[in-house]
Structure 1
Amino acid sequence: MSSTSEDMEKKLTFRRYKEDDQDWKQWQDKIFDADHSHLCPEYVLSSPPCQASCPAGEDIRGYLNIARGIEKPPAGVTWQEYAFRRITEANPFPSVMGRVCPAPCESGCNRNQVEDFVGINSVEHFVGDWALTNKMAYVNKAEPTGKKIAVLGGGPAGLACAYQLALKGHSITIFDEHELLGGMMRYGIPGFRTPREVLDGEIQRILDLGVQTRMKTRVGSDIAMAQLEQEYDAIFMAMGAQSGRPLPVPGAEAPNCVTAMAFLRAFNDGRLQYVGKRVVVIGGGDTSIDVATVARRLGKITHDTETERPEHIIAGNVAHDVAEASVREGAEVVLVSRASIDKMHANKHEIEQALAEGIDILGGVMPIAVILGADGRATALRVAEFDMVKGESVIREGTERDLPADLVVSAIGQAVDFTGLEEFNNNKGLIKPDSHYRFPGKKHIFVGGDVIKPHLLTTAIGHASIAAEGIHAFLDGHEELDKRPKVDAHRFDLLRKLVEKGMKIEEYNHQQMHGSDTSAFAVHNFEDRSAKYVIPSTELFLGHFLFAERHKRETITLNAEQALGNFEERLAALNEPQVVAEAKRCMSCGLCFECDNCVVYCPQAAVFKVKRDKSTLGRYVDTDYSKCIGCHICADVCPTGYIQMGMGE
């Protein structure tokens, strides 16, 4: 049908382009343009989520790459020693932490998107034990500064801070009220989780740096804080939170109602050799599991005297007769938690072990009273189910029940003893520092560990590392401290690798010039975003990684009878081939691991391997921009997300 002149005069009802619209292309042209762009590849160092999740700030990717053979150690240094040196830049307790840390790094691991996380703790455990066996010592190259620092508390925070500051050339004295150093590592965690020879070995390495100690000396009572402020250039407060919180219910004043801290200290001191027939523990965290498993191992004896009841031992009045303890029998241990078993804060593995050992875990209930006998001692703990209504716990009527108990242990939290140090209490039983862990209003006093908020041992070590940097800067004359990085962790340093390789880094003359890619003052095509950016799994080429089953450490699981009197370590280290294989599962998120994908798949041969004498980790490949067309294939096939398209924006 032909159009009439009248039809031709009608206005169009649809237009693909508007008047004066000049920016258009055919869809065919868009396809032809897809193979190139104005962007070019750049090599971007990002932080992996494992490091960003590590409270101690360990360079986890670094020591895994060392174990797998990607990052080569200097001549004459074994990979084990090199990995040990890398770990201990942040954490001087690899053997202890490899055993007891709940490993938030593994929860953050991008490998979880493929099949299962990398066994980071397993590698750290192996390296830490290797260092002890081979008597690795710390090397202090710093010149003495003449500055003196007092460290209050010989636990993980105090020891870690003393270690970091000693390596900077300062003179350190640790004040601790106990007979031995270690804090919660010794007096809180039982020996079958932290073998004492391991703990002692890692502490001794720190003392060998020249760190002095004054044991059985409590600051605030045995010596005044004001005296330390006069005698020392700076102070680090890391007293810990080793006072337990009693149950806030009627009847909790009974003599056989004790705190978890008192219970564990009596056990770790060797004074507590057995408990009553029935022990009830209230908690839900790792400490409550430690109390329950210790009680299960100690068991009961058939006959005990009035003076040797567990509460008297825990109070420090007497000590149990070791010979009598040899006739012990199993104790009935019940762990009560407000949270359901699947939502308890304790390590899931430890919960499974406790259940296997015959410990009864009762979740979803709250204690409401301690039932007392005629003699004033606790005979049971009354619990009930509850609902949360507008933030308040409301008991469900008719759900009350009594749990028979000869000993009730409260593991509901810890508290700081501020006797003689009241001015530092934030009125909530803790200390509130700034982001550098400096006490407000006192530029020479820093704090760390559980005095800030009771948390993980690795958290305390992380506090110590940051505080040590602040103390060092303060003693160096910097009263105002620089802002801390968003990702506050130890990380890969490309310049250090270049220097280690023997390459000279020239001074930049700050003049504009062409050809910076061939200049020795610049690292061509490289950007370090690791202080502020954590690379997610979505920026990795996950298709590169094949399924590889995790190498798991052997764990000895005991039943109720086997647990009685068994204080042997339950966790076995991986052997060297297993450790290397496990490290190879690391995806090296945010850093090249030399897979050659970019070189192989570049259609323009623009990406090339750096010459061997100039090559090092992080500078394995480079780009010839005279050949690059910006096709982004190299970025697409980079498994680690190290190559990103940019530089044209």
Structure 2
Amino acid sequence: MSAIPENVQAKPVTFRRFKDGDHQPLAWQQEIFDADHSHKCPTYVQSTPPCQGSCPSGEDIRGYLNIVRGIEKPPAGVPWQEYAWRRLTEANPLPSVMGRVCPAPCESGCNRNEVEDFVGINSVEHFLGEWAIEHKLAFPAPRERTGKTVAVIGGGPAGLSVAYQLARKGHSVTIFDEREHLGGMMRYGIPGFRTPREVLDAEIQRILDLGVQTRMNCRIGTAVTLEQLKADYDAVFLGLGAQAGRALPVDGAEAPNCVTATAFLKAFNDGRMRHVGKRVVVVGGGDTSIDVATVARRLGHIEHAHESDRPEHVIAGQTAHDVAALSARQGAEVTLTSVFTVDKMQANKHEIEQALAEGIAIRGGLSPVGVVRDATGRATALRVAQCEAKFVGGRLEIKTVAGTEEDIAADLIVSAIGQAVDFTGLERLNNGKGGITADRNYQVQGQPGMFVGGDVVRPHLLTTAIGQGAIAADGIDRHLRGEAIDKRPKIDVHGFDLMRKMVEKGLPTARIEAPLHGTDQNVGAIHNYENRSDRYVIPSTELFLGHFQYTPRNRRKVLTLSKEEALDNFEERMLPLLEAQAQAEAKRCMSCGQCFECDNCVVYCPQTAVFKVPKAKSTTGRYVDTDYSKCIGCHICKDVCPTGYIQMGLGE
């Protein structure tokens, strides 16, 4: 057992399957004993791990981690880094970007949290994305062109995802975007020190190299009508995004120096805004509000600014800051308020820690109740009150505490409380709630051939938009081929395909749709193999956690800046793992729901019924078999299986 560092408190042992004093047998449905044997025999069940079940883009996380760690071998001549990257990019074509900015819900769902700490999935994704850019990997061209055409409105993560998936299927795709460059909120929302523009450009170019066409500076609804697109293209995807910010819903919010987060970040990312006021107050609590606050800390302020230097003029597009004045900048006082307490804010906890280190004051449990203005109409302070906030029935309820009002002085107030869709020219698409209604295939209600995805459905994560784009692409592909659009699976992820792996190795295959008696004699399948990945996420209770030793996480190096160091520092803060670190981190993956070749079942079987599949016939997920003539159904193989891959099913 690995020694636990002195500064880390060991968790109590909670992973023993059987405890001292246990004498009650399992439920009879699990045992079904008959004298000295049982009618329950080993069944090899592939399930979805919770990391994949938690990933909005549905990446085959377990699959590419098993490649990185060396369990799943790549085809001859293919580096493991490339093979893992290609498995990853089946779902997500932007791994280097997502490896930096995704808040990684996969890590929150990771079963390894029950042992000591989650697997650093996001950091391995970051490593693979960087390796692919460094080695100039490209996506393979489609084998054939279908002649079908698709118009994609919006070049953000949803639009890029659907364009990528459709281009791979052989369809001709044109992206229409109202801005000068592709990327959407990845470019015009997230600052460059979190998403380096050269990285974003490289991953977008790789998609365009599949033959995807673009029409930039072209707004649908004004420059081109939706009716024209429907007439000229075989299908249309609406990835409009939600790039219009929401103003504060309080009196005085119409002040010129009360701006939205989207307008603030666009002015910065366009390079027009070079400094802010001395005192900046940001209202929010999510990742966008953290981005605004950290940008404001880096920009700072000019002590004796002229009227024309005020940031609201730049944000409104009336002017641009003079670069010559930058040398006179000083640090800005930045305060971020949230209706939630700091520990319950929705922003990434790591980003909150970085913001605090940079001297940003974060005050939770405060609700804006008004904007204090001077005689000219400019805001001079944000009036807030203590509050309690909670979600009731999916809606946010905020109750302010009377008599707790206070004013926070401000030269610039930024509202980061949400985003809205600009339906100008496309008003008829608005469902009355500021979005577009679609089914689970993301086909617009009552509009065959028209699909939608991203923030226009519901503002959420970038990775959510990527996943919706992939699902919509499947629906569009079926529509273009004249096929019925099937119901989506309950668990909609890119899973490991055992049959593809067998074909890759040149083994005969015979699909077995359900565990059947006698399939242990079939060379084309694992006996009693069943793939439940489309409907079952395996919990930690199905794993033998006692197999896993304490292993600290391999953490990326993050440059933490002080208040003084943050001013004018636009360098990237997060560095990728080294190759050995990425491999070591992948080895921490418990491969939940799929065999990772530990040999426990072979070693502990008292009847020698469980045996290794001969090397010439084995693949990932097809590593062991059971001789049913020897098996007595004692359940030991299931009890010692770390991954939960072995379940006990009815057999003879």
Q: Same fold, TM exceeding 0.5?
A: yes
1:402/1:616 Cα in 2 relative to 1: closer, same or farther (>3 Å)?
A: same
Structure 1 pair 34/554, CA: closer, same or farther in 2 (3 Å)?
farther
Q: Is contact 1:383-1:401 (8 Å) kept?
A: yes
What residue number does 2:567 align with?
564
Tell me, yes or no, if structure 1 residue 642 matches structure 2 residue 645. yes
Q: Which moved more, 1:518-527 or 1:173-182?
A: 518-527
Counterparts in 2 of 1:322 and 1:539: CA distance versus 1, 3 Å: same
1:490 counterpart (477, 491, 494): 494
Q: Distance in 1 between matches of 2:273 and 2:101?
A: 23
Matches within 5 A, 1:568-607: 568-607=571-610
Give, in whole Å, the separation in 1 of the partners of 2:227 and 2:540. Answer: 52
SS at match of 2:455: helix
SS in 2 for 1:376: coil
Q: CA deviation at 1:306?
A: 1.6
User: Does residue 1:620 correspond to 2:611, yes or no?
Assistant: no
Other-structure match for 2:508: 504
Aligned to 1:216: 217
Question: How far 1:31 moved relative to its partner?
Answer: 13
1:297 aligns with 2:298: yes
Partner residue in 1 for 2:13: none
Match of 1:142? Answer: 143
Distance apart, 1:527 and its partner CA? 0.5
CA distance in 1, matches of 2:286, 2:632: 56
Mapped pair 1:431 → 2:433 = no
The one of 453, 456, 479 equivalent to 1:448 is: 453
The aligned residue for residue 414 of structure 1 is: 419
1:348/1:35 CA distance change after superposition, 3 Å: farther
Partner of 1:323, secondary structure, is: helix
Contact 2:260 2:416 in 1 (8 A): yes
- After TM superposition, give the deviation of residue 515 of structure 1 in Å: 5.3
Match of 2:408 in 1: 403
Alignment length (residue pairs): 617
Name stretches of at least 5 consecutive residues in structure 2 with no aligned partner.
1-30
The one-letter code matched in structure 2 to 1:310 is P
CA deviation vs aligned residue, 1:483-525 (integer Å, no higher than 9, x gap): 11111000000000000001133699x9xx9854333454422
Cα distance per residue 1:618-643 (max 9 Å; x no partner): 11111111111111111111110101
**Structure index of larger Rg:** 1
SS in 1 for 2:615: coil
1:465 aligns with 2:465: no
- Matched AA of 1:535: I
Distance in 2, matches of 1:535 and 1:93, equals: 27
Gaps of 5+ in 1: 1-29
Q: How many angstroms does 1:554 deviate by?
A: 1.1
- Residue 178 of structure 2 is matched in structure 1 by 177
Do the aligned partners of 2:263 and 2:315 also contact (CA within 8 Å) in 1?
yes
Match of residue 358 from structure 2: 357
Q: Distance in 1 between matches of 2:142 and 2:251?
A: 59
**Contact 2:340/2:389 (8 A) holds in 1:** no
The answer to whether the Cα contact below 8 Å between 1:49 and 1:105 also exists between their aligned partners in 2 is yes
How many angstroms apart in 1 are the aligned matches of 2:391 and 2:546?
Answer: 47
Asked whether 1:96 is paired with 2:97, we answer yes
CA deviation vs aligned residue, 1:117-174 (integer Å, no higher than 9, x gap): 0000010000000000000000023310000000000000000110000000000000
Residue 144 of structure 2 corresponds to residue 153 of structure 1: no
Flag the 1:390–1:41 CA change in 2: closer, same or farther, 3 A: closer
How has the CA–CA distance of structure 1 residues 488 and 231 changed in structure 2, closer, same or farther, with 3 Å as cutoff?
Answer: same
Would the aligned equivalents of 1:267 and 1:273 in 2 still touch at CA under 8 Å?
A: yes
Q: Within 1, Cα distance between the matches of 2:274 and 2:563? A: 18
Q: Secondary structure at the match of 1:385?
A: strand
Distance 1:455 1:284 in 2: 14
Between the aligned partners of 2:178 and 2:137, the Cα distance in structure 1 is 29
Against the structure 1 CA distance between its residues 500 and 563, is the aligned structure 2 distance closer, same or farther, given a 3 Å change threshold? same
Structure 2: how far apart are the matches of 1:506 and 1:58? Answer: 26
Give 1:62 shift: 0.3
Contact preservation (8 Å) 1:37, 1:630: yes
- The 8 Å contact of residues 32 and 40 in structure 2, kept in 1 or not, is answered as no
Kept in 2: contact 1:36–1:632 (CA 8 A): no
CA distance in 2: counterparts of 1:239 and 1:218, whole angstroms: 10
Would you say the 8 A contact 1:34–1:631 is kept in 2?
A: no
Q: State the partner residue of 1:85.
A: 86
Aligned residues of 1:371 and 1:378 also touching (Cα < 8 A): yes
Q: Is the 8 A contact 1:292 1:333 kept in 2?
A: yes
Change (3 A) 1:209 1:635: same
Partner of 1:18: none
Secondary structure in 1 matching 2:38: coil
Once residues 125 and 353 of structure 1 are traced to their aligned partners in structure 2, the CA distance between those partners, rounded to angstroms, is 19
SS in 1 for 2:282: strand
What is the letter of the counterpart of residue 628 of structure 1?
Answer: C
Deviations 1:589-609 (A, max 9, x none): 000000111111111111111
- Give the 5 Å matches for 1:332-343: 332-343=333-344
Q: Distance in 2 between matches of 1:530 and 1:35?
A: 34
> 1:317: Cα distance to partner?
1.0
| Aligned residues of 1:150 and 1:172 also touching (Cα < 8 A) | yes
Q: Letter of the aligned partner of 1:105 in structure 2?
A: C
Give per-residue Cα distances to partners, 1:53-105, cap 9 Å, x unaligned. 00000000000000000000000001100000000000001101111000000
Partner amino acid for 2:250?
V
**Distance across 1 between alignment mates of 2:391 and 2:181:** 46
Is the 1:256–1:408 contact (alpha carbons within 8 Å) kept by the matching residues of 2?
yes
Q: Percent identity among equivalent residues?
A: 70
Listed as ranges, the matches of 1:6-155 within 5 Å are: 36-155=37-156
TM-score (norm 1): 0.93
| Structure 2 Cα separation of the partners of residues 205 and 551 of structure 1 | 29
Cα offset for 1:304? Answer: 2.4
Measured in 1, the distance between the counterparts of 2:35 and 2:203 equals 57
**In 1: Cα distance, 2:509 partner to 2:156 partner:** 41
Change (3 A) 1:398 1:350: same
Give the match for residue 3 of structure 2: none
Q: RMSD over aligned Cα, in angstroms? A: 1.9
Which stretches of structure 1, 4 residues or more, deviate above 6 A after TM superposition? Answer: 30-34, 388-391
Q: Is residue 592–residue 644 contact of structure 2 (8 Å, CA) maintained in 1?
A: yes
Q: Cα deviation per residue 1:163-189 (whole Å; 9 max; x = unaligned)?
A: 000000000000000100000000000
Distance (whole Å) between structure 1 residues aligned to residue 33 and residue 349 of structure 2? 54
Which has the higher mean CA deviation after the structures are superposed, 389-398 or 254-263?
A: 389-398
Q: What is the CA–CA distance in structure 2 between the aligned matches of 1:642 and 1:307, rounded to whole Å? A: 66
Structure 1 residue 535: Cα displacement:
0.5
CA drift of 1:239 comes to: 1.0
TM superposition shift of 1:398: 2.3
Q: Take 2:472 and 2:643, find their aligned partners in 1: how far apart are those partners?
A: 32
